[in-house]
Structure 1
Amino acid sequence: MKLSTPRWWYERHGRHGRVVRTLLKPLAWIWSAATARRIARATPVDVGVPVLSIGNLTVGGSGKTPVAREVLRLLRAQGIAAHGLSRGYGGRSDGPLRVDPTLHTADEVGDEPLMLAGDAAVWIARDRVAGARAAVADGAAALVLDDAHQNPSLLKTLSLLVVDGETRGAEWPFGDGSVFPSGPMREPLAAGLARADAVVVLLPADAPEADAELLALFAPLPTFIARLEPAGPPPHGPQVGFAGIAKPWKVERALEAAGCDLVDFAPFPDHAAYRPGDLAFLADRAALFDAGLVTTEKDWARLPPDWRTRIVAWPVVARFEDEPGFAARLAQAVR
C-alpha cells in the first residue's frame, strides 16, 4: 500500500503534526544513523567514466527526474554519449537492463526510467555497479545517476543536489529539518551538503526569485536556478487533473498557472498504480464535469495502454537560468 506525503512534514513552525513528529523522532535517529553508517563503510567503485549524480535530501518531490533529463540533453549537445542509470523504483526487473519504451512498461522498469528513455539511453539496475558496467560496455562515455545522493556504490565525479524552491512560507522544503519518518529529510542537511558539489534550486516557471533565506543555506556551494516550464500548453476545455507524485498539489498549481481550465483535481500517492477502480473514479469525475483528463508524463507512463488514448500527458521540462554556466560545470566534470 502506497501512502500519501504528509503536508505537515513541510511545516517549520505549525502545530499540526507536532505530536506525531515528536513520537517519530526515535525512528528518525535510527534512520539517520543507518544511512550515515552505510555511506561511511562503502568503498565506491570507479567504472572508468565520469559519473554525475542527481539526488536530493528529501523523500521525493524535488524534481530530480526533470533535472536528470536536462543534464542528459546538455551532455548530448556537447557530443558526450551520456547514459542514464536508475534503480528502477516501482518496476519488477532487477536489471541490468537498457530501457526500451517501445517494449517495456512502468511495471517492468519503473515510471521515471521509462519517461527518461524517450529522449536518451537509460538503464535500470538494482545493483548500480553492475548497471554502470553494462552501460559502459554498451558505449556510455558518461553516466547520469537519477536519485543517487545516498547511494555510495559508485565513485562520483559530480554530485548535484536538487532542491524544491517552490515550497516556501509556512511550508519549507526541509520542514523543520527532521529526518524520515519524523520529517521529509533522508539525512541531516549538513551531512548531505557535505557530499555535494553544487545545488540546483528548482522553481515553477512563473515563480518570483528564489528565496534568499533558502539560498543562504547552501553557501559556499555553487547554486544554479532552474525553472520547471511546460513543454506545451495544457489541453483546451474543462479538465479533471490528477497526479500520483510526492507533492501532487504542485501539479495542480502548475496547471492552473499555465491557464488550464481545471474543474477538479485528484491527488494519488507517489508512484501510484492506477487500478480499474481508480480509473473508473476518474472517468466518472470527467463525465460529471463534461471534461477531459490530464496528468503528468510520469503518471501517464503508468496507465494501462487502452487508457493512454483517453488521457492527456502534460509534459514539463527543467530549464536553467544560467544555462551556459551550468553546461560549463557539466563539461568540467566530464573532461
Structure 2
Amino acid sequence: MRIQVHADDLGLSESINRAIFSAYDHGRLDSTSLIINAPALHTALVGLRQRPGLSCGLHFNLIEGRPITAPDALPLLVNKQGQFRHSFPGLLWRSLFAPVRYRRNLMKQIEIELKAQLDCFFEKTGRPAMTVDGHQHTHAIPVVHAILRRLNRNGMIRTCRGLREGGSTDLLSTLRPAALVNRMKSLLLARLERGNYKRGLESQLPVRNQWLIGVLHSGTMSLHAVEYSLSRLTARAALHDTVELLFHPAYPAHPAHRSKSAQQTGTSESDNSSESSYNNDAPKTDADRSNKQAIGRRFYFDFTYRAAREREYRLLISGEWQKLKAQFPSLS
C-alpha cells in the first residue's frame, strides 16, 4: 500500500503555514490543501511558489470566515455580518430536511460559492485540475457531493478525499473522552460516503485515497495511534491502495520556535492570532452573540485546539517518526 501524508488548513494562520512548510522541508509531508478564503492566504501562496514539488489541492470552506462570493448572493449561507452561518451539522440538517424550495435554493448558492473558490484557487495558484476536500469534511454532505460531481464533468475537479476510516484504536485509547465523539463522527462520515457512492457514481468523482487515518484520532494523533493503525491496516488494504494520513499541524507558539520557523520557511513571524479571529470575528447565529460564549470559544481554541495541532507538528518532525519510516517504507 502507498501512504500519503497530508496536512489540511494551509492559509488558516501563519503558524499553520509555517508548520506545513517546515514539515515538507523536512521531507515529512507529501501534500496539503489550501483554504482560499483564509486570513493567511498571502504567505501560503508565497510558500507554495517556493515549493513547486508540494502537491496542493483546494480545501473548500463553507463553514468559517467569509465567502469569496458577495454575501448578498448567498443569503442562506451567511449571516448579517457576511460570514458563514452554518456548522457541519447545521448544513447537513438543512440540506436533508428543510423544505424542498429552501434546499433547492441552498444548493444553488453552495454551487455558486464552490465555483468561485475553484476559480479563485486556479487564479491564485496557477495550478490546473485539482483534488478537493471540504473544511470539516463538508464534501461528504450529499448535496455538496452532488455539486462536486457536476463540477467534475467540466474538468475543474479531478478527485476528492475518500473518508473510509482505516484508523484503529486500542482499548486504552477507546476509553478517552474524545474517543466516543470521534467514533460517532467517523461512523457518520462513512455512512454519508456510502450513500454518495452507492449508485455507481464513483466513476464521476474518484477518490484519491482508499483509506483515511485521522478522523478517529482527531485531536489525539500520536505515534502510537499511527503505528497501531498502519499495522492493523496492512492486513486489510490491497497492495495498490492509497492510505492518507491526515494531519492538522501548527508551529509551536514559543518565540524561539517561531523565529526559527520563519527563517526556515520564509514566512512572516507575525501570526496576529489570525486563526482565532477567523473563527470568532463575528457570530454565526444570534445565540453566539454573548461575550461569555465568545470568550469560551477563544479559550477552547487557545488551550486545546492549538495544543493538539502543535503536538501533531512535533510528531511529524520527530526522530520517532523517522524510525517509523523504517517500519513502513512508503511513509514520507
For normalisation by structure 1, the TM-score amounts to 0.37
For normalisation by structure 2, the TM-score amounts to 0.37
Question: In proportion to residue count, which structure has more strand?
Answer: 1
Question: In proportion to residue count, which structure has more helix?
Answer: 2
Higher relative contact order (CA 8 A, sep 6+): 2
